[in-house]
Amino acid sequence: MEKLFTAESVTFGHPDKLSDLIADSILDAYLEEDKDSKVACEVAISQNKVYIMGEVTSKCSPDIEKIVRGVINDVGYSKDELLFNGNTCDIIINISKQSPDIAQGVDKEDIGAGDQGIMYGYATNKTENYMPLALNLAHKLTKRLEIVRKENIITGLRPDGKAQVTLEENNNKNYVKAIVISCQHDEDKDLKLLKEEIIKYVLKEVIPKEYLTKDTLILINPTGRFVIGGPVADTGVTGRKIMVDTYGGLAHHGGGAFSGKDYTKVDRSAAYYARFVAKNIVASNLAEECEVRVAYAIGVSKPVMVDIETFNTNKIPVAKIKQIVLENFDFSPKNIIESLNLKNVKYAEVTKDYHFGNEKFPWEKIIKLI
């Protein structure tokens, strides 16, 4: 029976992803000087304005404007012709202290959850990094777009871009049914040449030949022209690419964003831990596919729910898997922070790698369960 899966990814020049990267760079700056900083930073970008908002309690005061301009310029928005320039854009900063009503539930020995909410972690044995294949391929396309632009392998590219992959699974074999790549370009870029270059230097470099067929639909800049992009064409907001940053919509998500939030926020830390647990269930061959679901009450350290879904791929009873999980994993925020060493993570680097699937991150490590 044919199954279809579609996932997308975006480049760092996409306004939403740029907002995430700025927020996490600000978070890193606070944590670098004060590991106990409490940070909830939101970023919105529109036209030539960058809005930095949120609540922070910290012993340090990093130069936020310098950080923001550095991130924007590094991503590639450093020329007036792009209509958004990190050197000259307006930066509006409105940051207050964390609410004492929240702090009283978090700032205690056992560390209560910073908010209520539901978090999900997912893993599958169909890929080496235990991530959905369609999402892996989409990420490879956008990462390659970044490389060919920065290394000038393809000239005339601009920072904004997207990729989308539709995968067809038939008789346990995977085929790419459709690929959509949208990449911002200079005004004078020859569009026919651009399509040829994207296929040659991006698509064929990262999509394995065995996934492509004569019927694979390839769409490069399907509207034809993509000169005006970035924050001038589309407002960017922190957390709006959360499906790109998790499982591409191929697993559930509780709705809480990651970027700009310190490790005490379970929106982030518990989602990382849920992935850690799901991956180890699959890596231990307890199931071929797994989704871990966890929920918290604000100020309470123990979760109000821990549940397991294996989509009928479990090798032992689900009740036994849940028992193994509860015996081997502690979902309290304090343990999550300590066991995953979250005080020492560089979160901007995590954002650059779309959070999951890279073994260099502590929530991707594999441990022996049985």
**Which of 341, 344, 347 has the alpha carbon at shortest distance from 26?**
347
Burial of 232 (0-12, 13-18, 19+ CB in 10 A): middle
Helix segments in the chain, DSSP class H? 15-33, 64-75, 100-106, 133-150, 191-198, 204-206, 266-283, 318-328, 333-339, 347-352
**Which of 116, 219, 222, 132 has the alpha carbon at shortest distance from 169?**
132
Q: 117-127+266-364 in CATH: which number?
A: 3.30.300.10
Whole-structure pTM value: 0.95
Contact predicate 177/168, CB 8 Å: yes
Q: What is the pLDDT of residue 1?
A: 65
Burial of 356 (0-12, 13-18, 19+ CB in 10 A): buried
Contact predicate 157/184, CB 8 Å: yes
CATH 3.30.300.10 in the chain is located at 3-10+133-230, 117-127+266-364
Phi, psi of 170 (to 5 degrees): -140, 120
**The CATH number of domain 3-10+133-230, selected from 3.30.300.10, 1.10.287.1080, 3.20.20.70, 3.40.50.12710:** 3.30.300.10
Contact predicate 20/244, CB 8 Å: no
**Which of 181, 182, 188 has the alpha carbon at shortest distance from 226?**
182
In order, the DSSP letters of 110-169 are: T---SS-EEEEEEEETTSTTSS-HHHHHHHHHHHHHHHHHHTTSSTTEEEEEEEEEEEEE
- Residue-by-residue pLDDT tens, the chain, 370 positions: 688 999 999 999 999 999 999 999 999 999 999 999 999 999 999 999 999 999 999 999 999 999 999 999 999 999 999 999 999 999 999 999 876 655 555 555 668 787 889 999 999 999 999 999 999 999 999 999 999 999 999 999 999 999 999 999 988 899 999 999 999 999 999 999 999 999 999 999 999 999 999 999 999 999 889 999 999 999 999 999 999 999 999 999 998 999 999 999 999 999 999 999 999 999 999 999 999 999 999 889 999 999 999 999 999 999 999 999 999 999 999 999 999 999 999 999 999 999 999 999 999 999 988 7
